[in-house]
Structure 1
Amino acid sequence: MGKSHYLTIGVFTILFLVLYFGFDTKPHDILLAEKSRASFIETTNIQNLLTTAREEMRADEMGVIDAINMRLEMAETDSSRIEVLENLSSSWYQNGYYGIAGYYAEEIAKIKEDELSWSIAGTTYATGIKRADNEKVKSFCVERARKALENAISINPANVNHKINLAVTFAEHPVAENPMKGIMMLLDLNKQNPENVSVLYQLARLGIQTGQFDKAIERINKALSLDPENQRIICLAVDAYNGIGNNLKAEEFSRRCEL
């Protein structure tokens, strides 16, 4: 029996005890949100996300999360707290609540204060940005993603991936006072790292979104010269060539696309 099986058994054992003996206090995730108020707006947002999730989720799904929250309440060391927070973040993520998953990933980063943890928090929030079904959730994820990625960059300024991820949040969700900020950040990264395939991919993808198909194809070809089997680039080429009406090229890349 693997580690995951023991974890599942442990979670459901705790859940059984909670249901059997009764649990009439506030759920720990709500308490955590109330106790960690950095500002009124942020606390209200996470509070609302948690409340909405509780109204939407099935009782058995929420019961598993409540059981994990019980473990968080009993955690006495940073290491044990981190382990439970990882389980919470994973559980919320698997249930499709990426903003809440990011929140718990951020709680881990606040304890560990390392590059990887801040990066995970940032990219988890970024997933929430892409899949958010309303502006309130999207706004929450955008601001938190940027702060987390900025923290990762401050720890390791040499990591281009953090800068790419940060630039994408500005490109896809522009700030009113500087709507071109994200694009300019990516162009600057491209100048500094002309052979970085991830930068070329993002610029090509955004080019397709704005109808700049020829420019996108130019960047796709550059990326493929550097990494001929990159599936993200190959699949992106399908959209780019469809955009200019080159059906033969689009079909050629479609046969190679395995995503």
Structure 2
Amino acid sequence: MKKQQWLLISSALLAFILLFTFGITVPPHKQPTATVAANVASSPSIRFETLLAKAKEHISPAQAERLARLENAVVRGDIKDQQIHVYHQLARFWSDSARVFEPYAYYTGEAAKLENSEKSLTFAAHLFLDNLMAETNPAMQNWLATNAKVLLEKALAINPANDSSRIGLGACYMFGNISDNPMQGILPVREIVAKHPDNLYGQMILGLGGKKSGQYDKAIERFKIVVEHQPDNLEAIFHLAECYDLHGEKANAIQWYEVAEKLIRIPEAKAEIDKRILELKK
């Protein structure tokens, strides 16, 4: 397997590992397992109505009938508490019954906007953010980041001192194709990490930013800080291995791929990493 081929599959492989190891899109207990992003044509922007229409193609007639009742209830609801309740019902429908991520996250976000509490806003924002980190479709990246940005800005209006929300907002600009100036997202995160080097969320985001921009040496420094504090952080370990790989440091890449391989419990993922290790050893 050539390096170019490995790079094509590594992002999907990491998303696969994280999805099944940690459930990165999950609310507690249950998780939407389907996504409609792959069925949406690439475009500068994506509308929720398009995602919803695609999602509806995969539900049963009985589910469609139930969904129609819920959607009509939102329109009729003239009291905020009623609307919040129905949005939560819609979110649960797409999470538990239909098991499709995008409408689940969207309706969770709509409920959070009406509730307007920092807890609900940040929870909904991180649904979008977690999937943004694993998404490769630029149009979907934009949709996820735009939704997360709105929620995080509302959360920061309530608590401007929340560093996690500020870092998340920076990630929206860095990875979401919502600005032509990535420094708009990088600088606030750097500022937070400079004051609090043990902020591992910030270190992770800066590592991912360095990797995306091809600054592999800087990304390696960030990921090593995370791994030093969290030796079992599979995501950081995998990114560290891949950055060494991309930087041409085969011995270090092999070392960290082997660490990742030991932590992975998914046979298919272990096999792909083993293939890459063997290629690097040649």
Question: What TM-score do you get using the length of structure 2 for normalisation?
Answer: 0.62
Which residue of structure 2 lines up, in the alignment, with residue 151 of structure 1?
A: 154
Alpha-carbon RMSD across the aligned residues, in angstroms, is: 3.3
Pair 1:172–1:134, CA change in 2 (3 A): closer
Query: Larger Cα Rg: Structure 1 or Structure 2?
Result: 1
Partner letter of residue 256 of structure 2?
F
Which aligned pairs between 1:28-43 and structure 2 lie closer than 5 A?
none
Tell me, in whole angstroms, the C-alpha distance in 2 between the residues paired with 1:175 and 1:46. Answer: 16
2:189–2:206 Cα contact (<8 Å) kept: yes
Structure 1 stretches of 5 or more lacking a match? 1-43
Pair 1:214–1:150, CA change in 2 (3 A): same
Pair 1:84–1:142, CA change in 2 (3 A): same
Tell me, in whole angstroms, the C-alpha distance in 2 between the residues paired with 1:151 and 1:247. Answer: 45
Deviation at 1:153, TM superposition (A): 1.9
Higher RCO by CA contacts (8 Å cutoff, separation 6 or greater): 2
Which aligned pairs between 1:124-139 and structure 2 lie closer than 5 A?
124-126=127-129, 129=132, 131=135, 135=139, 138-139=141-142
Which aligned pairs between 1:28-67 and structure 2 lie closer than 5 A?
45-54=47-56, 56-60=57-61, 63-64=62-63, 66-67=65-66
Tell me, in whole angstroms, the C-alpha distance in 2 between the residues paired with 1:215 and 1:148. Answer: 30
How many aligned positions are there?
A: 213
Which aligned pairs between 1:66-145 and structure 2 lie closer than 5 A?
66-70=65-69, 73=73, 82=84, 84-93=86-95, 97-126=100-129, 129=132, 131=135, 135=139, 138-145=141-148
Partner letter of residue 59 of structure 1?
S
Pair 1:234–1:179, CA change in 2 (3 A): closer
2:141–2:177 Cα contact (<8 Å) kept: no
Which aligned pairs between 1:102-251 and structure 2 lie closer than 5 A?
102-126=105-129, 129=132, 131=135, 135=139, 138-176=141-179, 178-251=181-254
Question: What TM-score do you get using the length of structure 1 for normalisation?
Answer: 0.67
Q: Which moved more, 1:192-201 or 1:179-188?
A: 179-188
Structure 2 stretches of 5 or more lacking a match? 1-45, 265-282
Per-residue CA deviations over 1:199-247 (Å, capped at 9, x if unaligned) read: 1111112212222111112222222333333332222211121122222
What percentage of aligned pairs have identical amino acids? 24
SS at match of 1:57: coil
